[in-house]
Amino acid sequence: MTVLGLGPMGRALAGAFLDAGLRVTVWNRTPGRDAELIARGAVSAPSPEEAVAASGLTVLCVVNYDAGDAIVRREAVTAALKGRTLANLTADTPGRARDAAAWAAEHGIGYLDGAIMTPTTTIGTPAAVFLHSGPEELYQEHQAVLAALGGSHTHLGADIGRAASYDLALLDIFWTAMAGYAHALAMARAEGVTARELAPFAQGIAAILPPIFEESAREVDEGTYSGEGNPITSAASSMAHIVHASEEHGIDASVMRAAEGLARRAIGLGHGGDGFLRITELLSPR
């Protein structure tokens, strides 16, 4: 099998394939990143077309689809991929995944799209999480090799954009939470509270979220947002305290202001008794 792209993630993927005893051919735009992999038994191809020609399955993992296209849409590489399968584990948007699938179909290339949801250190271990989308039969054909990457592999269906859709939704949770955490740390610091002191309590707050995801799923899908126990009016009031205290310290509160603004709009529309997730309907009306 072939791995194109040897950034931290590409190297981790190639390493896991080697550990599983597979014959692995690698290529990267900048030479020299494959030294450790070669020492472990990988074959270094002099060009991406030669790398692709060495295997039935090529895994592509670079920074984004522009970078991926710069490699696989070169005429010689596209020609070498014909009749073979490309599994693209590069992160980007669902639209780019659909565009890549259309290009692949036009050139007789089997195409699977995927997303890696865990850091490089998890690859090859039970903690890795992979999401895949694309034709069921093609996925079945390569499932055993992909399983060498360890962890859990979920095929989300034939819609090629689905893995990227999940990826973006999940990263949305992650990065907005991280932005909130960074803001919380700045506010805590302004009040003389260190990150070390806050950490155990921060973990407690984060632990509240998983049951909320589980318990709210049905309400969100049905469009009912019971605010029993915590109406959006109460949430908006607590957000206002955060904005106020933050700005008193001269700390940019724009992330919290955006959330409070959405809550106030929902209240203005008469949904003050509903729960905070009512704002989902403002963001994405049915």
Binding residues vs ligand NDP (CB under 6 A): 5-10, 28-30, 33, 61-63, 67, 70-71, 90-91, 116, 119-120
Report the residue number, 149 or 256, with the smaller CB distance to ligand NDP. 149
Q: How many residues does the chain have?
A: 286
Report the residue number, 68 or 227, with the smaller CB distance to ligand NDP. 68
What is the CA 59 to chain-centroid distance, rounded? 17
Rg (CA), the chain: 23
φ, ψ of residue 269 to 5 degrees: the values are: -85, 5
Q: Are the C-beta atoms of 168 and 145 separated by less than 8 Å?
A: no
Minimum distance, C-beta of residue 19 to ligand NDP, in the bound complex (Å):
18
Minimum distance, C-beta of residue 8 to ligand NDP, in the bound complex (Å):
4
Minimum distance, C-beta of residue 76 to ligand NDP, in the bound complex (Å):
15
> What is the rounded distance in angstroms from the CA atom of residue 206 to the CA atom of residue 215?
15
Task: Count H helices and E strands in the chain, helices first.
Answer: 12, 8
- Alpha carbon dihedral 202, 208, 214, 220, in 10-degree steps, equals -90
Minimum distance, C-beta of residue 211 to ligand NDP, in the bound complex (Å):
26
| Cα distances (Å, whole numbers) of residue 145 to 1, 27, 48, 212 | 8, 19, 20, 36
Report the residue number, 130 or 225, with the smaller CB distance to ligand NDP. 130
Report the residue number, 154 or 233, with the smaller CB distance to ligand NDP. 154
For ligand NDP, which residue has the nearest CB?
7
Minimum distance, C-beta of residue 48 to ligand NDP, in the bound complex (Å):
9
Report the residue number, 33 or 155, with the smaller CB distance to ligand NDP. 33
